[in-house]
Amino acid sequence: MNRLLVFGLGLAAGGVLAAALSILMARRTERRARDSERRAREAEHLAYVGTLTGGLAHEIRNPLSTLNLNLQLLREDLQRPASKSDPRLLRKLDALEREAARLQQILDDFLKLAGKHEVRLTVQAIHPVVEELVEFYEDRLHQANVRVRTSLAQDLPAVAVDAARLKQALSNLILNAEAAMADGGELMIGAEAERRGVRLHVTDTGAGISPEDLDRIFTPYYSTRPGGTGFGLPTVRRIVQEHRGTLEVHSEPGRGTRFTIHLPAADAATDTT
């Protein structure tokens, strides 16, 4: 009797376990379907915004180019030897050229954030992407008295990335770090393997970000940097999302800031499609 009871209990437990597994699998399938639907809606929305952005950029670029050209011609006229130009006019011209350049920068940064981008994901190692970028900025950072330290683990899984877009995101983080260390400091760029993915981090020893600013740094047009357009970090977040990754930030005023990008391994990224 005891054996029959144990056997029956075993069958019942097995049935409960099988039912629980079935429920979990059904929920996982449902979650994947919802995620796929959400990504499809987001892609459709981004395509629509990209179309509007392209038209807006075209309408702005043409008069802006004309403005820049005429400012250059005006400067040439005022600087001719026979011209008796008023120094005040040249100072006003300088101001106009600076504002035109700033408008061009705002437009370019806006396009990077809201423009239509075709992301070309290819499976590759992350090392060359990071190393090429560090080499590119090495001289600039050295001149800014910023020491760069890299720590790239050797056992990193391959990831599916668009190298150009990922470099753009990391470039924004590096330039932000440089700006945060006006008197020099240390920039640490690292990569480690984590569960089903790769963790990239960019850490500086700069001024840090206050808690009230930390809640707003990913808001377009919001910037604490003089002359900043406020599109850099929103662009970084968009690029990370395009790679089905996540972005985190930790900062202490007076001690520095760390941005962490979590990218899924190539097989994990495939599983979520």
Q: Are residues 103 and 225 in the same domain?
A: no
Q: From 69, 92, 116, give the residue that closes a domain.
A: 116
Token pair recorded at residue 193: 């393997």
How many domains does the chain fold into? 2
Residue 167, pLDDT > 90, answer: yes
- Give, for 257, the enclosing helix (H) or strand (E): strand 256-264
Distance CA 108, CA 155 (A): 37
* 125, 153, 199, 203, 259 from 190: Cα distances, Å: 14, 8, 8, 9, 11
Is the domain of 132 the same as that of 112?
no
Band the pLDDT of 6: cuts 50, 70, 90. low
Q: In this structure, what token pair is assigned to residue 160?
A: 């599916």
Question: Do 52 and 153 belong to one domain?
Answer: no
CATH code at position 267: 3.30.565.10
Instruction: Give pLDDT, residue 40.
Output: 67
* pTM score, whole prediction: 0.64
* pLDDT tens-digit series, residues 28-48: 788 777 767 776 666 665 555
Q: Do 200 and 191 contact (CB within 8 A), yes or no? A: yes
Report the number of secondary-structure helices (H) and strands (E) in the chain. Answer: 7, 7
Domain boundary among 116, 131, 166: 116
Give the end of a domain, one of 116, 132, 152.
116
Q: Same structural domain for residues 16 and 131?
A: no
